[in-house]
Amino acid sequence: MELKAALKDYTALEFQALVNRIWAVDLPKQAHDQLIDHFDRIVGHPQGADLLFYPTDKSNPNSPQAVVHHVRTWHHQQGMPAFKGEDIPVAKPAVAPLSPLARSLAEVEKISADVAVSGQVVEEAFNVFEQQISSLRSQQNTPADIPNQAAGIRTLEHAQHEALMAVRKYEFWKMRVAFVQSGAQRNLTYAQSGQAQWQSLVQQINAIHDRYLSRLASITQRHRTLHDEAEALLIVAHQQLIDSRSTTQTVHTISASLDSADKRPDLLLPGGSPVLLASQQADLLKAIRSAVAEFSWQNTSSEPDTENQRAAVLSFAFSSRADTQLFGVSVPLSELLPIEGQDWQHLAANQAEVDVPFRMSTAAVPANPGKCSRVCARSKRCRRFTSRLAAAVVRSLASGSEPRRRISIGTVSVLLLRVLLESLSTGPGQFPLEAIQWLHRSNSVVWDLFSPREHRSLRPMPGRRMTGLTTTS
């Protein structure tokens, strides 16, 4: 490479290439020593070639880039450019430190401006919220197709969420204003001079604090009114969407690998896309085994329970009332009852039935008050904007109010007997499924699922939670 007479004749990239060549140590010793001597003559830094081997920054490992950085920084500190085509950075003028009074005044002015901006954001969010409420109310009085109904619900939910976030950010300033107010009062107490200026500053922050609290109370009341009005409209709109979807009958297909369904439980969606991670499947399997073990112990205890019980093992929620998602829960049949020692071919030939002491079930479970993530949590009557769907292991008793669940062997392929797909449901605004057609194609299991025309609500049975897995969809 070409060696130049002075550092200022090198561009930054050319000098970086020189340092990289020295660091590579891929030259004969004589040529390598010549490059080091050349670096020492032109670098201009007091350390010279020692920069290559003994970094000035002990906290970071040395590197070719660090060497170039140290050379450039040192030359800039001397008021001269380091490399060809470089400009000297303009030094920032020193700023005189503010006095305590000036610093407090600037803090008060800044928080006053920030609170005003936050309040304006709340007003804009409320205006949009009111517009979407009026829009959905007018839409309910006119016929609309299913996509428009769903879009209206999502739009109002989005406006509801934005209003909530704006209110939360406005509430954030409550503690900050209080801190500035207490600081100003403390400075007034201990100030040795400028009492009049400190008194004026305290009056300003007191006025800001009073205005903030008054507006916060007004915003909270208005938000509660708008939220309750929106919730009432969304409940009606959601029911209208359910009614509209109930007039259409669609066929869905869920496919899953029989090889994997025979080994671990899974949450299945149309299209065969994986939902649960392997670690989540393992947690779900542990939850199912825990529930089955507890129920098995209860069945053999001296004090039998005559009521069916439910143990939740999987739960997730939808992001909107308008969402709809067909899903199924598959569980290896061996996790719910012994499958060894049965002549399944004989049972299938005779269309026999087998008792299933434990089964899977799904239900829509309202979220607990105070657990809302996107609605007003102050209302004790407030529930999450969408129900939580839960899959549970249910113990069925022969003498209970509900007969033992049985599966018919003759209607199912023998290969499918090792997998139980019992839990089928849909998302908010859709219906449970009432018909399942079992098919076997190659090495995969395919279920054709048909939606019913009339709505049947699912209610969770009282029970206890053994252990659980939570995932979102």
Q: Render pLDDT for 2-49 as a digit per residue (tens, 0 to 9).
A: 788 888 888 888 888 888 888 888 888 888 888 888 888 888 888 887
User: Where in the sequence is the domain holding 155, given as residue range(s)?
Assistant: 100-246
Of 205, 231, 246, the last residue of a domain is 246
pLDDT per residue as tens digits for the range 217-276: 999 999 999 999 999 999 899 888 888 877 765 666 777 776 777 788 888 777 766 778
226 and 259 share one domain = no
Domain match, 331 and 425 both: yes
Domain assignment present for 379: no
Q: Would you say residue 83 lies in a domain? A: no
Assess whether pLDDT exceeds 80 at residue 126. yes
Q: Encoding tokens for residue 345?
A: 């071919």
More confident residue, 153 or 365: 153
Residue 186 lies in a domain: yes
Give, to the nearest 10 degrees, the angle between helix 29-42 and helix 12-24: 140
Same domain? For 229 and 282 the reply is: no
pLDDT at 378: 30
Q: With respect to residue 240, please indicate whether it lies within any of the assigned structural domains.
A: yes
Q: Identify whether residues 216 and 283 lie together within a single domain.
A: no
More confident residue, 116 or 395: 116
Whether 412 has a pLDDT exceeding 50, the answer reads no
Looking up residue 31, the CATH number of its domain turns out to be 1.10.1200.20
The burial of 336, by beta-carbon neighbours within 10 Å (0-12 exposed, 13-18 middle, 19 or more buried), is given as buried
Q: Let me know whether 51 and 177 are in one domain.
A: no
For the chain, what is the mean pLDDT? 73
Do residues 229 and 263 both lie within one domain?
no
Tell me: pLDDT of 377 over 80: no
Tell me: do 205 and 257 sit in the same domain.
Answer: no
Judgement on whether residues 70 and 188 belong to the same structural domain of the protein: no
Which of 210, 226, 246 delimits the end of a domain? 246
**Any domain includes 86:** no
Write down which residue in 231, 246, 261 finishes a domain.
246
Percent of the chain with pLDDT over 90: 21
pLDDT tens figures, 448-463: 343 333 223 322 323 3
The CATH number of whichever domain residue 227 belongs to comes to 1.20.58
Same domain as 48, residue 112: no
Regarding whether 275 and 220 lie in a shared domain, the answer is no
- Residues 162 and 187 reside in one and the same domain: yes
pLDDT of 305 higher than 70: no
* Residue 92 domain flag: no
217 occurs within a structural domain: yes
Within-domain flag for 58: yes
Distances in Å between the alpha carbon of 283 and those of 92, 278, 294, 421? Answer: 58, 9, 17, 19
Q: Which residue has the higher pLDDT, 44 or 301?
A: 44
The number of distinct structural domains making up the chain is: 3
